[in-house]
Amino acid sequence: MAKRTTSTAAKGAPVYIVDGSRTPQLKARGQPGPFRASDLAVSAGRALLLRQPFPASALDEVIIGCVMPGPDEANIGRVIALRLGCGTGVTAWTVQRNCASGMQALDCAYRNISMGRSDLVLAGGVEAMSHAPVLMNEAMVKWLGDWNAAKRLPDRLKLLGRLRLRHLSPIIGLLRGLTDPVVGLSMGQTAENLAYRFGIDRETMDAFALQSHQRLAAAQDGGLLADEIEPLYDPAGACVLEDDGLRRDSSVERLGKLKPVFDRPYGLVTAGNSAQVTDGAAMLVLASEQAVKDHDLKVIGRIVDCEWAGLDPAEMGLGPAYAMAGLLKRRRLKIEDIDCWEINEAFAAQVLACLEAWKDADFCKRELHTRSPLGEIDMTRLNIDGGGIALGHPVGASGARIVLHAARLLERIEGRYAMASLCIGGGQGGAMLVERG
Amino acid sequence: MTETEKFWRTERDADGVESWILDVPGARANVLSKAVLTELEQLVAAAEAAPPKGIIIRSGKETGFIAGADVNEFLVMNASIDVVHEHIRWTQALFDRLERLRCKTVAAIDGFCLGGGLELSLACDYREAVDEPHTRIGLPEVRLGIHPGYGGAARLPGRVGHLAAMDMMLSGRALSARAAKRLGLVDQAVPLRQLVRTAKALVLEKPRSREPVWWQRLAGNAVLRPIVAMALRKTVAKKARKDHYPAPYALIDLWQRSAGNHARMLAGEADSVSRLLAGDTSKNLLRVFFLQERLKGLGRGGSFKADHVHVVGAGVMGGDIAAWCALRGLTVTLQDQSPERIAPAIGRARALFQKKLKLPRLVQAAMDRLIPDVKGIGVARADVVIEAIFENLEAKHALLKAIEPRLKDGALLATNTSSIPLENLAEVLDDPKRLVGLHFFNPVAQMQLVEIVRSRFTSEEVVADATRFARQIDRLPLPVKSSPGFLVNRILMPYLIEAVRLEGEGVQAEAIDGAALEFGMPMGPIELADVVGLDVCLSVAEILAKALGTEVPERLRSMVAAGNLGRKSGRGFYQHRKGQVIKGKYDKGLFVPADLTDRLMLSMLNEAVACLREGVVEDADLLDAGIIFGTGFAPFRGGPLHYAGDAGISTLRKGLDVLSGNYGDRFRPDQGWSSLEGEA
C-alpha cells in the first residue's frame, strides 16, 4: 500500500515558464563523452540566458538537479551559475531525487517563487552518465591506507606481497547507481516485476520502443525540436545538433532479436526497450508575475502544480501512476482535460504498466483510492515526439526536459494542460502540471 | 625616511628586517635609471656600515617589480661607447656590493621582473615570486640587440645551470613564477598574501638555495664549453643570422670564453654590451621598441571599455578574432549561418586557449566566454560588433543594415574588410560616422598589428574608441586612411606580385625567397603568398591593380584557376604537406638575376614612399611601425623608410630609375622620393 505526499505550494502565487533550452542528448559510448555535466548545463544555459532581456546577474538563484556530479563539481549548481557569469551574488544549489532531480529543481524553484522568496530562477537538470565514476574497491582503499601508514621498507615489501589482482577490480559507479540498495534489484529488474504483474509481453514493449524512435525521427525531420535544442560544440571543433541515440533503422524484427539484459536468459526487458544511458542537460527560466512585468518577459506556460508519490521500490516504475493520479485529483481534472502527456520512458514495460494500472479497477480502488478506474490515456497524446527509449534518459536532466517539452508541445498543439511525469529509482513518482501561456 | 629618498622608500620592522621599496614617481612601471641606481648605492653603503637583520627588496607599484633598465637612457648614452662602458662597470660594482652585504637579501617579485630588474634580483641571496599569471621573469635583452650586462650573464648560470641560463638569455623569453621555481631561478613561488612573510622567513632562517643539477653544471666545464657553444650557435642560426642579429652570438662567445669566472664575465659583459649598443642592429631594434611604445600609447586616455564583443563570420579571420577577444577576457558571441560553420572556430579557439593559458580552469573560463550565436542575439548586447564575413559588398551591406538598428548606444561598429573602401560600406548606414575598420592580420594570435581604418565619415571619437579597444585586447593599433589596401597590404602587394613575376620568368622560387630572407624578411614572398592563399592574394591584387593601375601577373591567375591555392590546397608555388612547406635545394646553377633583391625590395619601398606622400598614415615612423608589426619587415633595419634613409634616398631612387628603364613603368619612382631627398 503506497502512501502519497501532498505538495503544500498549491495555492501560492503563479509561477511562469519564460523560456528553456536543452542540449542534444548524447548516447554514452563506453567511455567518458566530450562534455562533463557542468559543460552540458553551461552550454544550454548560456544560450538561454543570452536571449533573455535581463542580465544573468538579475537571477535570484540557480537550482540544478543532478544525480552524480563529477569529482570537480561539488554543488554543481553553484559551479554552473558561476560559469554562466551570473556573478558571485547569485546563490545556487543542487538537488537530488534520482531520476527526478531535474523536476525536483523546478519544483524547488516553483515553491520559492510561489512563496514570494524568489522572482527569477534558472532551474534545470543535468547528467553526464558517461562520466559516472569508476571507483576502487574497499579492499584496495584499505591496502592504500596501510601503504601510507607503512614507513619502513620491510613493511612496504610485506604489503606489496599482499596485493592481489582482486584489489584492482573496480566498482562501476553507474551500475551501482542503477541498483536499488534497499531491495537489491536493478532498475531493469523492477521493470521485469511490472511486466510480470501487468502481463505485458515482449512484443508490446518492442512495439512501444519502435514507436518512440519513429516519433523522434518525425520530430527531428519536421524541425519540431529546433526551438528547444541548443547545439553542443565540442573542443575538437565538431558540433552536435540532435539527439544522437535515435535509431532510424530500428524495426520490430531488430528489436526482437535483442537478448534480455537484466533477467538472463529468459526475461523481457532488453537494451532496445529501455531508456539509453545518455549525457544531457535541460534548463528553464521560471519567473514570478513581478519579474514578468519588470523585464517584460514573454511566457510560454505556467507551472500549475507538482506532486510526489512514494511506493514499493521493487515497483518503482509505477511512480507516475500514483503521482499523476494525485495531481489530477487535487486539481479536479480528468484524463480528457490533459492535452498531452510526457511520461518519461525509463522502460517500455514501466510506461505500459502505468497505463494498465489506470485501466485496472482493482488497482485504482486499492492503490489510488478512486471509486472507478481512471481510464485510458490516448496513445496519440502520449510522448508525441518520442521519449527516453529513443533520445535517452540522462537521469538528472530528464525531469526538466519533459517539462520543457510539455510546455513547448502545448504551444504547438494549442492545448491547455500538459502532464509531465516520471518514475524514480527507490520507489517514487513525480508529476508536474503545466498550463499554456 | 630621509629627505634624499626619492625613488626608494625604506621601512624597518620590529625584527630589524629592512624593506627597500622602489616606487619611481610619475612612472607606470619601475625602471632602473641612473638616478634610481645612485640612490640604491646610498642604501647599500648604509647597509655596509650598519647591516640590518635582513633586506627585502620589493616594488611599491600596483603592478610590476622592475621592468628593466631605463631604455631611454640607452639612447642618450650610446652616443659614446666609453660612457656606456663606464655606466655598466659602475652598475656591476654596485650589484657586487649588494651581493657581498653581510646580511641576507631577498628580491620579492610581484609582476614583471625583466632585464636589469632580474639582474638586480640575481645579486640578492634569495628570490621569491608571486604565483600569478602577471608575474613574468626573464632577460629579454637580445630583443633589443644586446645581452645582459649588469651581471646577468655572469650570475644566471650559477642559479639555474648553464644550459637553462643560455636558453633564457638567447631566447629572451620570460618565465612564470612556477616555471622559475622549477628551474631554481626563484626560491619560492607563493601567493601574494605570503610574499612578505616568506621574504622574512628567507632572510632570517637563511635556508640553502637549491643548486643546479649536475649536468647543468657540467655544461659549463671548460673542456665541454666549445662543443656546447657550437651547438648553441647552430640553434641560434635557425632563428637569426649573425650579420643581422649579432647579440646572441656575442653572448655565446662571451660564455665560451669566460663562463665560471665572475670577474672576467663582468668585464666581458661590459665590453660586449657597449659594443653592441653602438651597432646599427641595436639602434634599430631600440627604434622598433620605441615605435611599439608609441603604438601602445595611442590607445591611452578615453574611457571606452568593452565587456562584450560580437563577431559576425566564423571563418579564419572572424573565428580567430573572436577567440583572441575571449582569450583577453571579453565575453564574445560568434555568429555565422550555421553551427557547422562556427564549430571549427571553437576547435581552433580551444587549441589557442590551451597553448596560451595552460591551466584547465582558465581554459574552461575562456571557452565559457566564447558563445556560439547562430541567431546573432549578441549584437544587441555587444559593446563592439565586428563584421568579418566574406568580401562581398552586397552581403556586407545587407549585414550592416541589419545590425545598425540593433546596436547599443555607443557601441562600436567595425569591419575587418581588407579590400572594400569603408566609404562604400558606410553608405547604407543611417549614421556613417560610426563605422570603423578593425583590420586584423592572419594569424590573429601572432600578428600584433591592427589597422584602425577611418573613412571620410568616421568620427574622431569612434577612431579613438577603436584604438582604445585594440589596446584593450593587447594589439597594436595603427590609424590609417581608408584607401585601397590600407597600408600593410598595399605595400606588401607590389613586392609579392614582383616575386610572382620573377618566378614566372623562370627564377627558382627558393632563390627569390632566399633573397628576401637575406635581406631580413621573416619569410620569403613566394612562401608568404602560399601561406596567405593564392586566391586571397589574387583578389587583393586585383582590387589594388584596379585602384593603382598596376598589372596582375597571368601566372597568379592561372595558378588559382588550376586550383593551386597554396598551403590550404596542398599545392601552390611549393608543395605543402601537413601545413609544412617542402622546399627544394637552392640550386646555384640556375639563373638568378643580379637585380633580384632590388626588384623585390624597391617595389616595396617605392609603394611605402607613395603611401607616405598620400597620407595613408600620419608620418614615416607610423608607417615603419605598421610594416614591421604587420609584415615582420626586418626589424633590425628599423622599418622600410628608416632603411631607405640609411641606404641613401638618392641611391635607391637611382636604382628605381634603372629598374624602370629595364622593366617599365611599375618601377617609376614615386613623386614622394623628391621630398624625402629634400629632407635628407
**Domain end residue (candidates: B482, B500, B518):** B482
Residue recorded with cell 585594440:
B470
Range(s) of the domain holding residue B321: 308-482
Residue B130 has pLDDT above 60, yes or no: yes
Q: What is the pLDDT of residue A6?
A: 47
Q: Is B372 in the A-facing interface, judged by CB distances under 8 Å?
A: yes
Residue B2 lies in a domain: no
pLDDT value of position A11: 67
Do residues B328 and B366 touch, judged by C-beta distance below 8 A? no
A330/B contact by beta carbon, under 8 A: no
B364 reaches A (C-beta below 8 A) = yes
Q: Do B339 and A231 touch (CB under 8 A)?
A: yes
Same domain, B100 and B238: yes
Residue in B343, B345, B371 closest to A46 by CB: B371
Active site residue B244: no
* Average pLDDT of the residues in B562-580: 90
Answer yes or no: A393 catalytic: yes
Give the distance from residue A93's alpha carbon to the nearest chain B alpha carbon, in angstroms.
Answer: 20
Distance (Å) from the alpha carbon of B339 to chain A's nearest alpha carbon: 7
Q: Tell how strand B449-454 and strand B435-440 pair up.
A: antiparallel
Same domain, B88 and B230: yes
State the virtual CA torsion across B54, B56, B57, B59 in degrees, nearest 10.
Answer: -160
Number of Cβ within a 10 Å radius of residue B545: 16
Radius of gyration of chain B measured on its C-alpha atoms:
27
Contact between A235 and B347 using a beta-carbon 8 Å cutoff: yes
* Catalytic member of B418, B419, B483, B606: B418
- Mapped onto helix, strand or coil, the DSSP state of residue B195 is helix
Residue B534 and residue B463 share a domain: no
Enumerate the residues of chain B whose CB falls inside 8 A of the CB of residue A235: 346-347, 350, 367
Q: Which of A23, A43, A233 to mutate to test the interface with B (most CBs of B within 10 A)?
A: A233
Q: Are B136 and B176 in contact (CB under 8 A)?
A: yes
Q: How far apart (Å, rounded) are the C-alpha atoms in residues B429 and A321?
A: 61
What digits encode the pLDDT tens for the residues A397-427? 999 999 999 999 999 999 999 999 999 999 9
Q: Which residues of B touch A47 (CB under 8 A)?
A: 371-373
Q: How far is A70 from chain B (nearest CA, A)?
A: 15
- Residue B247's nearest CA partner among B292, B285, B290, B288 is B285
CA-wise closest residue to B416 among B456, B384, B374, B446: B384
Going by C-alpha positions, the residue among B385, B390, B393 that lies closest to residue B413 is: B385
Per annotation, catalytic residue among A86, A99, A340, A364: A99
- Which grid coordinates belong to A289? 508575475
Q: How far apart are CA B641 and CA B354, in angstroms?
A: 39
- Rounded to an integer, what distance in angstroms lies between the CA atom of residue B568 and that of residue B577? 10
Alpha helices, DSSP H, located in B259-388 = 262-278, 280-298, 316-327, 339-357, 360-369
Cα torsion A400, A402, A405, A409: sign: negative
Query: What chain B residue is nearest to A42 in terms of C-alpha separation?
Result: B368
Of the candidates B455, B482, B509, which is a domain's last residue?
A: B482
Which residues, numbered 22 to 51 in chain A, qualify as contacts with chain B under a Cβ-Cβ cut-off of 8 Å? Answer: 42, 46-47, 50-51
DSSP state of A179: B
**What percent of chain A is predicted at pLDDT more than 90?**
94
Cβ contact A50–B371 (<8 Å): yes
- Closest to B443 (Cα-Cα) out of B378, B369, B349, B507: B349
User: Using the beta-carbon criterion (under 8 Å), do B367 and A235 form an inter-chain contact?
Assistant: yes
The Cα B181–Cα B175 span in angstroms is 9
Do the domain assignments include residue B299?
A: no
Count of A-B CB contacts under 8 Å = 54
Q: What are the backbone dihedrals phi and psi of residue B272, each rounded to the nearest 5 degrees, phi first?
A: -65, -45
Per-residue pLDDT averaged across A316-341, rounded? Answer: 97
Give the Cβ contact number of residue B215 at 10 Å: 10
Residues B145 and B75 grouped into a single domain = yes
pLDDT at B76: 75
Nearest CB partner across the interface for B333, out of A50, A83, A84: A50
Share of chain B above pLDDT 90, in %: 85
CB-nearest partner of B340 from A235, A236, A239: A239
* Nearest alpha carbon to residue A110 among A22, A16, A20, A44: A16
Residue B213 has a pLDDT of 87
Reduce the DSSP state of residue B562 to 3 states and report it: coil
B348 with A237: Cβ contact below 8 A? yes
Q: Does A58 touch chain B (CB under 8 A)?
A: no
B1, part of any domain? no
- Return the closest-CA partner of residue B180 out of B136, B132, B134, B133: B136
Q: Give the span between the Cα atoms of B332 and B475, in whole angstroms.
A: 17
Q: Let me know if residue B225 belongs to a domain.
A: yes
Joined grid coordinates for residue B618 = 600620419
Choosing from B119, B141, B387, B451, which is the catalytic residue? B451
If asked whether residues B322 and B404 sit together in one domain, one would say yes
CA of A85, closest CA in chain B: separation in Å? 9
Distance CA B611, CA B596 (A): 23
> B669 and B617 share a domain?
yes
Q: Which residues of B touch A48 (CB under 8 A)?
A: none
In this model, does residue B4 exceed pLDDT 80?
no
In a mutagenesis test of the B interface, which of A38, A239, A240, A242 is the best target, namely the one with the most B β-carbons within 10 Å? A239
Please report the ipTM that was assigned to this predicted complex.
0.93
Residue written as cell 640590518?
A: B52
Work out the average pLDDT over A124-132. Answer: 96
CATH code: domain of residue B450: 3.40.50.720
Contacts 24+ apart (CB under 8 A), B628-631: B628/B288, B628/B291, B629/B292, B629/B295, B629/B447, B629/B448, B629/B449, B629/B476, B629/B478, B630/B441, B630/B447, B630/B449, B630/B451, B630/B478, B630/B487, B630/B488, B631/B488, B631/B491, B631/B492, B631/B521
> Per-residue pLDDT tens for B51-103?
999 999 999 998 899 999 988 887 776 668 899 999 999 999 999 999 999 99
C-alpha dihedral sign at B458, B461, B464, B465: negative
Query: How far is Cα A37 from Cα A120, in angstroms, rounded to an integer?
Result: 23
A99 is catalytic: yes
Cell of B141: 635583452
Interchain contact, B377 vs A50, CB within 8 Å: yes
From A430, A421, A396, A387, select the one nearest A177 (Cα to Cα). A396
Beta-carbon separation of B375 and A51 below 8 A: yes
Tens of pLDDT along A197-211?
999 999 999 999 999
Grid cell for residue A239 = 558540433
Chain B residues in contact with A76 by the CB 8 A cut-off are none
Count CA atoms within 13 Å of residue B251 on its CB side.
Answer: 32
Pairwise CB contact (< 8 Å): A50 & B367: no
Cell of B502: 620573377
Whether B303 is covered by a domain: the verdict is no
What is residue A61's three-state secondary structure?
strand
Non-local CB neighbours of A122 within 8 Å, separated by 6+ positions: A45, A48, A49, A59, A61, A62, A63, A81, A84, A86, A283, A284, A285, A286
Class of residue B424 by CB neighbours under 10 A (exposed 0-12, middle 13-18, buried 19+): middle
Per CB-CB distance under 8 Å, the chain B contacts of A237 are: 343-348, 350
Domain assignment present for residue B597? The answer is yes
How confident is residue A5, by pLDDT bands cut at 50, 70 and 90? Answer: very low
pLDDT tens, position by position, A34-79 = 999 999 999 999 999 999 999 999 999 999 999 999 999 999 999 9
Question: Is B59 a member of any domain?
Answer: yes
**What pTM, to 2 d.p., does this model score?**
0.93
pLDDT score of B680? 56
* Upper half-sphere CA count for residue B600 (Cβ side, 13 Å): 26
Query: Residues B153-212: pLDDT tens digits?
Result: 999 999 999 999 999 999 999 999 999 999 999 999 999 999 999 999 999 999 998 888
| B101 vs B433: CA distance, rounded Å | 64
Note whether B478 and B494 are same-domain residues. Answer: no
Domain positions in chain A are: 139-171, 187-225+304-432
- C-alpha A377/C-alpha A385 separation (Å) is 16
Residues 165-224 of A with CB under 8 A from B: none
Please name the member of B346, B369, B378 whose beta carbon is closest to the beta carbon of A233.
Answer: B346
Torsion, Cα B618 B623 B624 B626, to 10 degrees, reads: 120
Taking CA–CA distances from B370, the nearest residue in chain A reads A46
Separation of alpha carbons A376 and A358, rounded Å: 7
Number of domains in chain B: 3
Q: Quick one: B652 and B633 in the same domain?
A: yes
Q: Pick A351 or B585 by higher pLDDT.
A: A351
Of B343, B367, B378, the CB nearest to A239: B343
B346 touches chain A (CB under 8 A): yes
% of chain B beyond a pLDDT of 70? 98
Query: Same domain for B384 and B473?
Result: yes
Q: Tell whether B115 and B259 lie within a shared domain.
A: yes
Q: What mean pLDDT value characterizes chain B? A: 94
**How much is the average pLDDT of B270-290?**
94
A187-225+304-432 belongs to which homologous superfamily? Thiolase/Chalcone synthase (3.40.47.10)
A72 touches chain B (CB under 8 A): no
Place of cell 583590420: B439
For residue A3, pLDDT over 70 is answered with no
- Distance CA(B458)–CA(B432), nearest Å, equals 7
CB atoms B342 and A239 under 8 Å: yes
Q: Is residue B544 part of a domain?
A: yes
Q: Which pLDDT tens digit goes with each residue over B417-444? A: 988 899 999 999 999 999 999 999 989 9
Same domain, B511 and B451: no
- Same domain for B493 and B443, yes or no, is no
Nearest CA in chain B to A227: B375
Instruction: Render the burial of B216-247: b for 16+ CB within 10 Å, e for the rest.
Output: bbebbeeeebeebbeebbeebeeebeeebbbb
